[in-house]
Structure 1
Amino acid sequence: MKVIGVDIGGTKVRMGVLDQDMKIYLDQKVPTTFPLYDLLEKEILKILEKHPDVEAIGIGTHGFVDSKEGKIVYATDLLPGWTGTEVKKHLEQATNKRVEIDNDANVAALAEAKIGAAKEYDRTLCLTLGTGLGGGVIMDDFLLSGGPNGGAAELGHMTLYPNGVECGCGRKGCFEQYVSGTALHRRIKEAGLSYKPEELFTANDPKAKQVIREFTYDLAIIISSLQATFDMEVVVIGGGVSEAADYWLDDLNEQLKPLLLNDLDIKIAQFGNEAGMYGAAHLVL
């Protein structure tokens, strides 16, 4: 069975034709232009002309997604005009193929659970530490997603510190304001340091080490709280911050150990930029 996996980002859209063994028959990137739906339909129809044996289309995208209806509930200005788009309805009419769409963090989690770092586990939680904090939850082969507001598993917007740092969502103290790349920039600045985040982890500086300690403590609190909610077997950590995990993972495990209800494995994501395309394909495989 061949399917199309689509990963929609703010600057580019990646599209691949893959089969159930993740063999890639086509892998292409096009710049993200607007109206976004028009671009999506045009490019997919071109792919279907060359690959008529494709049976379904999976899509991962930024934003809140009603996965049942296949509709974009809300997307930020990163994707102008995307909010409200009934992607599934329109694209199924245009292609006569089955279409499924979900949030990009969810599809990345699906890739890690199916073929990546968590493929040996049944209950997986993925945290993507990038500009914000994305989350994905797979429980016994079921992807927790959607909801009428597209807000299921939006882990980055759970509250860590009431009345804490203001978040882009309008509330205060959200997880992503403490354990994302953006959060690291703020922590560094507040500590009076001039490092870039990638320099912080290798700096032989007591203040830098304290910033790392506070960051890993907050991440440990978050993981332990999520364990009480989901009782997952493994946490997979991805995103740009995970690229420096060799420098902070031991510190995280040390601070996490006394906080856990039960033993829990911590893994670093196997896939980087490929996760979106692979996970989108798995939505329909």
Structure 2
Amino acid sequence: MAQGKKVVAIDIGGTKIASALVTLEEGAKPVVEFYDKIPTEAKKGGQQVLANAIKMARRVIELAGEDVCGIGVSSGGVIDPRTGDVTYANDMMPGWGGTHLGAELTAATGLPARVLNDVHAHALGEARWGAGRDASSCLVVAVGTGIGGAFVERGSIMLGAHNEAGHIGHVSCTDAAGVPCQCGATGHLETIACGPGIIDRYLELGGDPKDEDGNDVDGAVIDRRAAAGEKAAIDAEARSGHAIGEVLGSLVNMLDPDCIILSGSVAQCGPAWHDAMAAGWSEAVMPPCAKTPIVSGNLGGDAPLVGAAENIVKSAYVEFE
């Protein structure tokens, strides 16, 4: 990368579509410009989501005012990065599965497009340009409205046989035993440890469903209440943190990464969550791996955009013959 490469980056999530122009240059921090976001309108179906994504790509192309080398896409759902197709999406994005996303963007703009799963893109950004830049391998975990992850080895994402590797939210854990998951299975991490899982648990424990202004309680309010010593808030966060720690310990036993990169809104919770995570970790992790560092992501919301852009410049994965 002797010269900076300019890429149109699109991040398609269940609630919003973000877009930006990302410039990548060896030895320099990625530059993210012209950022904007619009509602995904997922409930209107896959064709509406696609139309919104095309609109956002065209916006950046027009603003760039110069040649760009392609469109890098981060998208919710199971993605085949070789074809750019969305092979599966759950009910949060009805009709999104089966979308030929990469081909449709290329047809609409004339630019080459490559597509990654959103958490894979997030992980690639952090591994190559963020908190994992000096690590030979890293396990990246994002804990927010949902929970996802990826294992990155020497700058390449482990995809798996069905492009599903890294679905950390759908790993079983003791705290979720018997709890139904929206995927149809039971006992999965995401159901209890994501942001909505904390809220549901708080309300089950008798927490006040409203904040000081009469709005529905959210994770930030629960975290403040936990910091103030409210037992229901502490217990709701502790279940999430303990479950995350247990799963991270188990995965580190298997994958043995240089580091864990932890990001997402839930990871910003206070001591109640982090103390419980440390307890779950210590119960599960094997002694040789116990000192594996857990670090915070440092690209923030730019991580999936940077990762999607990076996938245009250098493929995110290695093909084995």
Q: TM-score, normalised by structure 1?
A: 0.88
Q: Find the partner of 1:189 among 194, 199, 203.
A: 203
| 1:30 pairs with 2:62 | no
Q: Give the aligned partner of residue 280 of structure 1.
A: 308
**Cα shift at 1:222:** 0.3
| 1:239 pairs with 2:288 | no
Output aligned runs, 1:136-285, within 5 Å. 136-145=150-159, 147-148=161-162, 150-161=163-174, 164-194=178-208, 196-206=221-231, 208-245=233-270, 248-257=273-282, 259-261=284-286, 262=289, 263-285=291-313
**Alignment CA distance shift 1:224-1:43 (3 Å):** closer
C-alpha RMSD over aligned residues: 2.5
Output one character per residue of 1:182-234: Cα deviation in whole Å (capped at 9) or x when no partner: 22123323333337432343032455444444433222210111112211121
SS of residue matched to 2:95: coil
What is the letter of the counterpart of residue 115 of structure 2?
I
Cα contact 2:119–2:142 (8 A) shared by 1:
yes
Farther-moved stretch of structure 1 (123-132 vs 72-81)? 72-81
Cα contact 1:4–1:15 (8 A) shared by 2:
yes
**Cα shift at 1:173:** 0.3
**Cα shift at 1:170:** 0.7
Cα contact 1:126–1:236 (8 A) shared by 2:
yes
Runs (5+) with no aligned partner, structure 1: none
Output one character per residue of 1:136-181: Cα deviation in whole Å (capped at 9) or x when no partner: 2211211123644x42211111222485210000110011123211
| 1:3 pairs with 2:7 | yes
**Cα shift at 1:25:** 4.1
Output aligned runs, 1:6-17, within 5 Å. 6-17=10-21
| Greater relative CO (CA pairs within 8 A, separation 6+) | 1
Q: Give the aligned partner of residue 84 of structure 1.
A: 98
* Distance (Å, rounded) in 2 between the aligned partners of 1:18 and 1:249: 33
SS of residue matched to 2:172: coil
* Distance (Å, rounded) in 1 between the aligned partners of 2:243 and 2:91: 29
Q: TM-score, normalised by structure 2?
A: 0.79
* Distance (Å, rounded) in 1 between the aligned partners of 2:144 and 2:232: 23
Output one character per residue of 1:34-58: Cα deviation in whole Å (capped at 9) or x when no partner: 5222332344245334544101211
SS of residue matched to 1:169: coil
* Distance (Å, rounded) in 1 between the aligned partners of 2:101 and 2:256: 33
What is the letter of the counterpart of residue 16 of structure 1?
A
Percent identity over the alignment is 26
**Alignment CA distance shift 1:257-1:106 (3 Å):** same
**Alignment CA distance shift 1:42-1:215 (3 Å):** closer
SS of residue matched to 1:35: helix
Farther-moved stretch of structure 1 (72-81 vs 108-117)? 72-81
* Distance (Å, rounded) in 2 between the aligned partners of 1:114 and 1:264: 19
Aligned length: 284
**Alignment CA distance shift 1:142-1:10 (3 Å):** same
